[in-house]
Amino acid sequence: MHRLAVLALACLLLATPTTRAQDSLSLSCAVCHGARNAPSTVPSFYGMSTAQIESALRDFRSGAREGTAMPRLAKAMSDDEIRALAYEFGAPVR
Amino acid sequence: MTPPDRRRRALLLAGLSVAGLPLAAWALKPVRERPRLIIVGGGFGGAACARQLRYLMPAADITLVEPRAQFFTGPSTNAALASVCAEGDIVRGPAALEALGIRWIREAATALDPVARRLRLASGTVLDADRVVLSPGVAMRWDRIAGLDATTSERMPHAWLGDAQVSRLRERIESLRDGATIAISAPANPYRCPPGPYERASLLAWRLSARRLKRCKILLLDAKDDFTKRALFQVGWDTLYPGMVEWVPHAKGGEVLEVDARRNTLRLQNGSRLRVDLASVVPPQRAADIAVAGDLVDESGWCPVNPASFESTRHAGIHVIGDACIAQPMPKSAFSANSQAKLVALAIAAQFAGGPAPVPRLVNTCYSLLAPDYGISVGGLYGVVSDRLSTLNDGMSPLGAARELRAREAAYAHEWYEQITRDTFG
Ligand SMILES: Cc1cc2nc3c(=O)[nH]c(=O)nc-3n(C[C@H](O)[C@H](O)[C@H](O)COP(=O)(O)OP(=O)(O)OC[C@H]3O[C@@H](n4cnc5c(N)ncnc54)[C@H](O)[C@@H]3O)c2cc1C
């Protein structure tokens, strides 16, 4: 029990700084995914909802979804980073 | 370019109003209200950094020092050499940054006092800065291959610096006849664009095959025993250009020790002397001269930096990004330079706003073309672990893959080029 509590606390502490990671991480996305309305052959996430982006990244990370560049990157992303990216780029809910 | 979406802008504005609080605190400290930021080099790292700083620090006085109005970009240079695209397609420059309110001085910096943060330009103009970001790229080491210097290199063009050598090498390639022997040399690590020499050999083979010059031979003379994406390249050569590309590794004496550019001969470490019809000798490299002048390089010839902010470990307040800095395990690529540029901009903005430093997350993906419709890639995500820049995860294209995947990656490569150049230069 004690062990679990320590683990939970450690996770919390670890999670705190990663919520800011989206800054330097998310700025790199445009290098391949470009701007919002640009036509693209690289699959675009613009227009996807926050939930859709989050599940796509999770699937890349788990291997459930195949891809070229994205699985390599997603495999190193924390839950917080995935959530932050999804929030950053997810289409606003109307 | 405007930030990608409205929410982002809203976030930015929110960040700015938060940053407004410490503005009052600035007044107490000897920090200027308009911090003077100078970026040296308007290539992939410098242009991306200037642009990002402008978004993050609207009030700052931002100056870019770059003598070249236009250059050929490293990325797609090999495609242009093989006439996969036109030379004009790969010309870029920093001009569009002026419209964002960045002052562009079209001169080279000749000296940097890293303590005073004072820059001297070719005209004699002196500029003082609160922060300097250097992204000056690489310089060739002319002391490593006997007979090779800035002058003789013109006859064995490296085409590695986006200058007139690109056009010269392309012309030489176009004038090759059937049965010609071409040598491409690859230096020891680290150097700009690790897959570059191998992509060059591939696309050259494609061009010669397209011209039906099937008896030509391409020798890759290497100072290394391994190279990035090696298995993928070798499978590709066997499939696309059987017998045409031969890799001579260091262990087989492939390192070029001496050249006679007038006679088109190369002396290898294995003692053999080769006479070729065309040689493209890519010399060993180091950080550009201004990094040396500013006392920013160590004995390796490259600039050591703190990986969380790319601030020089030798001089505070000077950041070095792109090819000139030591960022292993990241390769020296345009993507790496762009990613580092954005991290540095965030770090500098945070310092002036008194906010928390950004968590470093850096990205790279390097595409290589083996033919216009055959692409492969390697890439990864990087972070700081125990004070060292570290690979958090990386990977490359699968070895056994359908041509459809190679075609898809080739399409991504073309698109990546358009996106990164737009993201960087506008
Ligand atoms: C053949 C080839 C293929 C490549 N392919 C790819 C690829 O597919 N993908 C990829 O990501 N990367 C690729 N690259 C690598 C890429 O070009 C470099 O990694 C990238 O340009 C590095 O950015 P940088 O800002 O460090 O240097 P640069 O982009 O070279 O910019 C440096 C700038 O600084 C200026 N400068 C130098 N000294 C001074 C001074 N004293 N004062 C003022 N300005 C100065 C120079 O004029 C130059 O414009 C390739 C390179 C080559 C050669």
B402: burial class by Cβ within 10 Å (0-12, 13-18, 19+)? exposed
Helix ranges (H only) for B154-283 are 165-174, 196-210, 230-240
CA-based nearest residue in chain A for residue B364: A28
**Torsion angle (degrees, nearest 10) of CA B318, B322, B325, B326:** 140
Chain A: closest CA distance from residue B31 (Å)? 25
Residue B240 is part of a domain; what is its CATH number? 3.50.50.60
Helix (H) or strand (E) holding B13: helix B6-28
Question: What is the structure's pLDDT at A48?
Answer: 92
pLDDT digit string, tens, across residues A10-58:
444 444 333 343 489 999 998 999 777 667 789 888 889 999 999 999 9
> B67 with B24, same domain?
yes
B381/A72 touch (CB, cutoff 8 Å), yes or no: yes
**Number of Cα atoms under 13 Å in the Cβ half of residue B128:** 5
**How confident is residue A2, by pLDDT bands cut at 50, 70 and 90?**
low
> B293 with B420, same domain?
yes
DSSP A14-56: HHHHHTTTHHHHHTTTHHHH-STT---SSPP-TT-BHHHHHHH
B44 touches chain A (CB under 8 A): no
- Crossing angle of helices B403-425 and B44-56, in 10° steps, is 60
Nearest to A36 among B4, B365, B415 (CB): B4
Give B245's DSSP letter.
E
Task: Select from B210, B273, B268 the least CA-distant residue to B241.
Answer: B210
Helix (H) or strand (E) holding B182: strand B181-186
A31 touches chain B (CB under 8 A): yes
Total domain count, chain B: 2
B264 sits in the region (left: phi over 0; alpha: psi -120 to 50; else beta) called left
> B254 with B182, same domain?
yes
> B76 with B167, same domain?
no
Which value, in Å, is the radius of gyration of the alpha carbons in chain B? 22
Report whether pLDDT(B18) > 60.
Answer: no
Q: Which of B236, B263, B281 is the last residue of a domain?
A: B281
B392/A92 touch (CB, cutoff 8 Å), yes or no: no
> B114 with B164, same domain?
no
CA–CA gap between residue B169 and residue B156 (Å, rounded): 8
CA-based nearest residue in chain A for residue B359: A21
A45 chain-B contacts, CB cut-off 8 A: none
| Mean pLDDT, rounded, for B168-180 | 98
Q: Which of B281, B312, B343 is the last residue of a domain?
A: B281
User: Which residues contact residue B29 at a Cβ distance below 8 angstroms, ignoring those fewer than 6 apart?
Assistant: none
What is the complex's ipTM, to 2 decimals?
0.88
Q: What residue ranges do the domains of chain A occupy?
A: 2-89
DSSP B137-179: -EEE-TTSSBT-STTGGGGS----SSSTHHHHHHHHHHT--TT
> B62 with B173, same domain?
no
Average pLDDT of chain B is 93
Task: Select from B359, B361, B333, B291 the least CA-distant residue to B420.
Answer: B333
Helix (H) or strand (E) holding B280: strand B278-281
Q: Does domain A2-89 have CATH number 1.10.760.10?
A: yes
> B272 with B299, same domain?
no
**How confident is residue A91, by pLDDT bands cut at 50, 70 and 90?**
confident
DSSP B25-48: HHHHTT--SS-EEEEE--SHHHHH
CA–CA gap between residue B61 and residue B33 (Å, rounded): 10
Report whether pLDDT(B4) > 60.
Answer: no
> B277 with B314, same domain?
no
- pTM comes to 0.91
B43 CA from centroid of ligand 1 (Å) = 6
**How confident is residue B82, by pLDDT bands cut at 50, 70 and 90?**
very high
- Does the CB atom of residue B291 touch ligand 1 within 6 A? no
CA–CA gap between residue B271 and residue B337 (Å, rounded): 38
Q: Which of B281, B297, B323 is the last residue of a domain?
A: B281
Contact in structure between B84 and B131 (CB atoms under 8 Å): no
B66 CA from centroid of ligand 1 (Å) = 12
State which residues form the domain around B119: 3-137+288-425
Start-to-end C-alpha separation, chain B: 6
